[in-house]
């Protein structure tokens, strides 16, 4: 597209506007190519998120604003609510025209609010924390799932109810069998199932209302979608990978989501499925803090919002779109897409999971392939003599909180294969370094020393998925092995 030449007067006005923006206390934003995001999803797309100065990635404070972007209004990033206060976990309603969010005043219990997309009509709905929004397919009424009875714990709730968005006096009990963690509750399209943490780190699926739940693993940031069948995910302790589960087939596989070009091996955070199953959203990269520490806690103004598009078989993120470009710290994003106009089908055109593409080469350039389905992983043991080239980081136990256990993955040069088969010259092996919030006596190892290692593939041990795995950003892209301690 051609653009007319800019006059000298226009240039002066533009410079003055930029100077005023730089000197103001408003959230720092810059124009975003919203037409690219529209092309990326194939339809009108709205994104909402919380913005601070980069020091509050968990949105625990009061110095925050509520931000949004609409691909079809040509305004780019904009402030929806500019009063600096507590904004947590904004959720776009299923009709895409309103935002439900929570507030954690200090002191005081959490509260739930709703606001129109244009920032008007701010209304308090109820006491409690907004866990999810849902639209009844039978009558199209919209509901908000509310966590209450958290006592002194900010993030776990003993009771989950739902209130009608347009008539909050209507309330129904949903769940009180266990406590539920706040960030990760998501309800199926029919309202009968919820993904969540019951509580962290126990990942599971609950049958609603108030029936039972089953544990599916350990991790965080669970999410659930209906894509011709139910797909469930949970986030790992390294803050880099999703474990996807095809619930009907009882098959699972791992999808790395720190694959945005330029991220390296950085951590990411706040992953959430959009209302369209092919698209998810997250924040990142988290690069501050010492290696091995819980870097998402460090935040930083370098964190932006990114939308990822799953491949048709859900084995990888095939492409990314950057949503934000600003000098703030962006967190808790949610995405709404006009599904009726998106060219991407809701139901996958073929089978899903790694077995559907076995033997084929369909990965996008630079994308890491999904790890193999791990329903019945082959646990092949490998015994080697290996020289330590680069030890994994071992931070203080306080630096990985709230995790109490951690494994460090070091790089070794293979000297001799004693049992099993391994052809590469280097291997990445993880061993326990922190247990019960204490650094183990034998955690630290010496560079250049040859160690005899008894190993199995890390992804063959699902019990490790929720543990904190510590690697350096420049760690080689090798499969990770887990050191088995043999008596």
Calculate mean pLDDT across residues 239-258. Answer: 94
Kindly indicate the confidence band of residue 369, based on its pLDDT and cuts at 50, 70 and 90.
Answer: very low
Produce one character per residue of 60-77: b if its CB has 16 or more CB atoms within 10 Å, e if not. Answer: eeeebbbbbbbbeeeebb
pLDDT of 357 over the 70 cut: no
For the entire predicted model, the pTM comes to: 0.82
- Give the whole-angstrom CA distance, residue 113 versus residue 128: 10
pLDDT of 374 over the 50 cut: no
Residue 441, token pair as written in the block: 């006596």
Cα distances from 54 to residues 28, 30, 215, 330, in angstroms, run 12, 16, 34, 7
- Give the whole-angstrom CA distance, residue 487 versus residue 485: 6
Determine the pLDDT at residue 292: 83
- Give the whole-angstrom CA distance, residue 100 versus residue 134: 11
Calculate mean pLDDT across residues 65-80. Answer: 95
* Consecutive H or E run containing 332: strand 329-337
Determine the pLDDT at residue 19: 37
Q: Count the neighbouring beta carbons within 10 Å of the beta carbon of residue 181.
A: 22
**Contact indicator for 306, 321 with CB cutoff of 8 Å:** yes
Contacts of 474 (CB under 8 A, 6+ apart): 264, 265
Q: Which of 239, 231, 108 is nearest to 183 (CA)?
A: 239
Determine the pLDDT at residue 424: 94
Determine the pLDDT at residue 486: 58
- Give the whole-angstrom CA distance, residue 443 versus residue 456: 19
Model pLDDT for residues 459-479, shown as the tens digit of each residue:
888 888 889 999 887 888 888
Determine the pLDDT at residue 472: 85
Q: pLDDT averaged over the chain?
A: 88
Kindly indicate the confidence band of residue 255, based on its pLDDT and cuts at 50, 70 and 90.
Answer: very high
The domain segmentation of the chain, as residue ranges, is: 26-357, 382-483
Reported CATH class of domain 26-357: mainly beta
Contacts of 4 (CB under 8 A, 6+ apart): none
SS3 294: coil
Calculate mean pLDDT across residues 200-226. Answer: 95
Pairing of strands 45-52, 64-70: antiparallel
Determine the pLDDT at residue 28: 47
- Report DSSP letters for 384-450, one per residue: EEEEEEEPPP---GGGGTT---EEEEEEEEEEEEEES---SSEEEEEEEEEETTEE-TT----TT-E
Calculate mean pLDDT across residues 418-426. Answer: 95
- Give the whole-angstrom CA distance, residue 177 versus residue 199: 11
Residue 144, token pair as written in the block: 């908000």
């Amino acid at each position: 597209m051609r653009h007319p030449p800019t006059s000298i007067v226009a240039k002066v006005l533009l410079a003055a506007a930029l100077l005023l923006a730089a000197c103001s206390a408003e959230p720092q934003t810059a124009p975003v190519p919203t037409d690219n995001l529209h092309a990326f999803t194939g339809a009108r797309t709205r994104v909402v998120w919380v913005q601070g100065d980069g020091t509050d990635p968990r949105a625990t404070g009061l110095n925050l604003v509520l931000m949004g972007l609409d691909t079809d209004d040509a305004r780019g990033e904009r402030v929806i609510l500019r009063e600096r206060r507590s904004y947590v976990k904004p959720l776009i309603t299923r009709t895409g025209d309103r935002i439900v969010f929570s507030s954690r005043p200090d002191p005081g219990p959490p509260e739930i609010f709703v606001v129109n997309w244009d920032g008007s009509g701010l209304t308090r709905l109820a006491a409690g924390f907004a866990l999810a929004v849902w639209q009844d397919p039978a009558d199209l009424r919209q509901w908000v799932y509310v966590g209450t009875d958290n006592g002194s714990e900010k993030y776990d709730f003993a009771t989950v109810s739902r209130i009608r968005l347009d008539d909050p006096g209507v309330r129904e009990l949903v769940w009180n069998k266990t406590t539920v963690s706040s960030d990760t509750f998501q309800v199926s399209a029919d309202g009968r199932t919820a993904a969540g943490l019951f509580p962290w780190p126990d990942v599971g699926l609950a049958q609603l209302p108030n029936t039972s739940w089953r544990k599916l693993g350990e991790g965080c940031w669970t999410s659930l979608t209906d894509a011709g069948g139910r797909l469930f995910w949970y986030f790992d302790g390294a803050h880099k990978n999703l474990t996807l589960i095809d619930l009907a087939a009882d098959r699972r596989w791992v999808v790395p989501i720190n694959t945005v070009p330029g991220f390296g091996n950085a951590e990411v955070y706040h992953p959430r499925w959009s209302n369209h199953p092919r698209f998810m959203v997250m924040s990142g990269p988290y690069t501050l803090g010492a290696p091995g520490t819980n870097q998402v806690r460090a935040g930083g103004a370098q964190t932006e919002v990114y939308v990822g598009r799953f491949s048709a078989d859900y084995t990888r993120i095939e492409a990314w779109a950057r949503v934000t470009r600003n000098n703030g710290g962006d967190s808790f994003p949610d995405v709404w897409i006009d599904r009726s106009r998106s060219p991407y089908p809701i139901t996958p055109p073929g089978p899903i999971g790694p077995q559907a593409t076995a033997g084929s080469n369909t990965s996008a350039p630079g994308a890491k392939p999904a790890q193999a389905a791990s329903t019945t992983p082959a646990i092949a043991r490998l015994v080697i003599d290996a020289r330590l080239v680069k030890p994994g980081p071992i931070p203080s136990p306080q630096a990985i909180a709230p995790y109490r256990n951690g494994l460090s993955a070091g790089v070794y040069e293979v000297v001799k294969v004693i049992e099993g088969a391994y052809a590469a010259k280097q291997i990445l092996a993880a061993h326990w370094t922190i247990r019960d919030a204490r650094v183990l006596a034998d955690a630290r190892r010496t560079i250049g020393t040859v160690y005899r290692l008894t190993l199995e593939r890390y992804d063959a041990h699902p019990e490790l998925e929720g543990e904190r795995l510590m690697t350096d950003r420049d760690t080689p892209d090798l499969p990770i092995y887990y050191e088995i301690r043999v008596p």
